[in-house]
Amino acid sequence: MGLKRAFARHVSHRRRSLAKSSIVALVFFILFTGITLFLINHQRTQYQRTVEQRTEKFTLENLDSLTEIMQQLMPLTERSCASSQPNITYQAAFNSGVRSFLLVKNGFAYCSSATGDMMLALKNIYPEIDPRQTRDLKLQQGTPLVPGKPAVAVWLRHPGEENTGVLATLDINLMPYLLFASRDARTPDIAIILDDRALTTFSPNLLPVSQLPNDQADRLAIPGTPMTILFYNETLTPNDIRLTLLGSLVLSLMIGILCYYMLLLRQSPERALMRGIKRNEFFIEYQPVFHTRKDAVAGLEALIRWQHPIEGRIPPDLFIPYAESEGLIVPLTRHLFRLIAEDVPRLATALPKGAKLGLNISPSHLSAPSFHQDVYELLAQLPGDYFTLVFEITERGMVEEANALAEFDWLHQQGIEIAVDDFGTGHSALIYLERFTMDYLKIDRGFVNTIGQDTVTAPVLDAVISLAKKLKMQTVAEGVETAEQLHFLQERDVNFMQGYYFSKPLSIDNFVTFCNSQQVVDYQAQKA
């Protein structure tokens, strides 16, 4: 996104911003609510399908395993209870869920894994079991031995013989399911139906099918058996809806408020910038400038920064070009002057008299009617003849300033030195060097970064340094970050250097601490 779009002007009123924000919040509320409820419903549905598949697989596997065991016990119906009981007792003990195995002969249960010898008619124990069926399953509230506990009777008939076979009594305990359900709100209530009776999670006793809830339920028929399982599952509970609506409302309000403030900031960036000046959101960071030969701090460059209370740190390459294009650079530069003046007493404790104090001046400020007065006010706030001011002016804007030559002469009369900043990045760099008298040539970091690299622009750096020497201009290399770059520039007698190799831009406190730990250039001794 271009800077113009990022800081575009808008004339929308606050009410218009509020209306737009409200629409955004409403749309977000509807979309978020709809999508969230859809996802909850979809997730519950998928979970229910998984539960049904696992339930069917588990039931069939257990019935098949039980049938296989009962088939193994079937030959025992031809033997006495005394010889058969140890086997059926063993099988009942080591098969989970089996309450007992009964051997049935001619309609009478004559041997039990639990009680041993017995002689009870099958119809008295399980009156609903049909002994003529090859396999039959029935639900019953209880048995003669355990009358109050629901059970499932599984009958397997002896091939070729009626009223003879093996009967298994199974415990159906839904307590583990209920414990699991208490931890997972998605787990539905269930009802296991055989014929006209049902065992459910919501009643300890068997219920007639006619008394089951009329709520919508998913029905699972177990293949090859008369068993049906009902899953009473609410894909969307009232609690889901309440929580979703509450969350949507809170998030929508937050989105609306954020959108409102973003619209205000976007619609009026110039007011945000001017408001930042009034509220002291701008501050100065100082980057040390080192003398190459003396390896000492020779001065500093003052860099303006903006810490917005909502947007955070706004890069200077965004707000400075915008201020220039919108005619706000003059008040911003005046504010820069005031901030520097406030820090000068402390800077004087860290740097000797004659130290270089550089700051950026926009070319458009040169032609402003207030330029001379602004400079006079800055000089009046500085200690007399203590710092040597260096105005750094980007060469890309000089060609548009017809009075630049006169202004440069006037600045020299005030004792202010001039540096051409970012040299080589404009479109008519040599014209400026021929037309204007300047003291320093600042080599752009783009050229410094080519040191040690085989690029098309690498030879340009040597040409720039040679040109500056011929014009008797001092050179300042920006963006020095490596020892290789340092040695390269030292070998070519570049006068000054700055960059992260020496120090990043520092707050006033950190800058003073830094200078106190470094050697500084004594300009007074040089004059002497």
* Domain at 120, CATH number: 3.30.450.20
Q: Are residues 297 and 410 in the same domain?
A: yes
Q: Are residues 365 and 461 in the same domain?
A: yes
Q: Are residues 384 and 460 in the same domain?
A: yes
Instruction: Report the pLDDT value the prediction gives residue 7, as an integer from 0 to 100.
Output: 47
pLDDT (tens digit, 0 to 9) for every residue of the chain, 528 residues total?
Answer: 333 344 444 333 466 777 888 888 899 899 999 998 888 888 888 888 888 888 888 888 888 888 899 999 999 988 999 999 999 999 888 887 788 899 999 989 999 988 889 999 988 888 888 888 889 998 888 777 677 788 888 999 998 888 899 999 887 765 444 434 444 445 567 888 888 888 887 777 888 888 888 777 888 888 888 888 888 877 777 888 888 899 889 999 998 888 887 776 665 677 788 888 999 999 999 999 999 998 999 999 999 999 988 778 888 888 888 888 888 999 999 999 999 999 999 999 999 998 999 999 988 888 889 999 999 999 999 988 889 999 998 765 554 556 778 888 999 999 999 998 877 665 445 666 777 788 999 998 888 988 888 776 667 888 888 888 888 899 999 999 999 999 999 999 999 999 999 999 999 999 999 999 999 887 766 654
Q: Are residues 345 and 227 in the same domain?
A: no
| CATH code of residue 304 | 3.20.20.450
- Let me know if residue 264 belongs to a domain: no
Q: What pLDDT, in 10s, does the model give residues 344-381?
A: 999 999 999 989 999 999 888 888 899 999 999 999 99
- Let me know if residue 321 belongs to a domain: yes
Q: Are residues 187 and 327 in the same domain?
A: no
- Let me know if residue 70 belongs to a domain: no
Domain count, the chain: 2
Instruction: Report the pLDDT value the prediction gives residue 12, as an integer from 0 to 100.
Output: 39
Q: Are residues 289 and 223 in the same domain?
A: no
- Let me know if residue 114 belongs to a domain: yes
- Let me know if residue 476 belongs to a domain: yes
Q: At 494, is the secondary structure helix, strand, or coil?
A: coil
- Let me know if residue 92 belongs to a domain: yes
Look up the domain containing 223 and give its range: 83-232
Task: Identify which of 426, 476, 471, 478 has the alpha carbon closest to the alpha carbon of residue 449.
Answer: 478
Q: Are residues 365 and 499 in the same domain?
A: yes
Task: Identify which of 471, 462, 422, 472 has the alpha carbon closest to the alpha carbon of residue 443.
Answer: 422
143 CB-side CA count, 13 A:
24
How many C-beta neighbours within 10 Å does residue 526 have? 9
User: CA 350, 356, 360, 362 torsion: positive or negative?
Assistant: positive
Instruction: Report the pLDDT value the prediction gives residue 173, as an integer from 0 to 100.
Output: 61
Q: Are residues 226 and 285 in the same domain?
A: no
Q: What pLDDT, in 10s, does the model give residues 177-229?
A: 443 444 444 556 788 888 888 888 777 788 888 888 877 788 888 888 888 88
- Let me know if residue 26 belongs to a domain: no
Q: Are residues 344 and 460 in the same domain?
A: yes
